Amino acid sequence: MTMQDDDILAPRGSRSGAQARGDFSGRKARGPIIDQEGNEIRPETVEQGFREFRFEFGKDGQFSGNPFGNLTREQRILRLEAIAKLLDVAFVLPGTNIRYGIDGLIGLIPVIGDIITTAISLWLVREARALGAPWHITARMLGNVAVDGVVGMVPFAGDAFDVMFRANMRNVRLLRRWLDKQPRV
């Protein structure tokens, strides 16, 4: 028996004209609102929470595109390091000491996988540039991404190269070394 679209959108009880329990069509709730711990939540608190939940828009009404809010410089660097580790060294090949990441796994998908991982690597370079990395650091980072992307396109040998080259870890290391030489503000 297959479910009709109406069954998915409206429970069976609401077809007969009876009030559905989960009907939120603007009517006031009849009972108290209870949280996970069993405590009652006042309706004013819920309404205030909905008013505070909003997207931040820029000057022109455009979405700022920053889902992480205002992160500090150190938080941004830690986020880049975490993404680089996930891409390059998140897992260990059982029975060996060889580390690989999702870059190596996604790279197994011919062409599209390498395009996806190269795009993520380019985003890391863009973030480094936003942190103030100079052109020579950015150029070296782009070179690492280019080598990883081009050689990674070669079937099987390119995937093995992806696992061993670790372009994202190299790029984060380059950025970290440059940042360590900069005076603290």
Query: Which carries the bigger pLDDT value, residue 75 or residue 22?
Result: 75
pLDDT digits (tens, 9 = 90+) for 48-70: 665 655 555 555 555 555 555 57
Distance (Å) of CA 161 to CA 106, 152, 157, 175: 14, 7, 6, 22
Distance, CA of 2 to CA of 87 (rounded, Å): 41
Q: Tell me the two tokens of residue 151.
A: 């050689």
Tokens of 130: 């936003």
37 exposure class (CB count in 10 Å sphere: 0-12, 13-18, 19+): exposed
Q: What are the pLDDT digits (tens) for 18-48?
A: 554 555 555 565 677 777 777 777 777 766 6
Res. 139 pLDDT band, cuts 50 70 90 = very high
Return the pLDDT at 27.
58
Q: What mean pLDDT do residues 7-18 have?
A: 49
Q: Beta partners for 78? A: none
The closest alpha carbon to 157, from 85, 107, 116, 101, belongs to: 107
pTM over 0.85: no
pLDDT over threshold 50, residue 14: no
In sequence order, the 6+-apart residues with CB closer than 8 A to the CB of 174 are: 137, 140, 141, 144
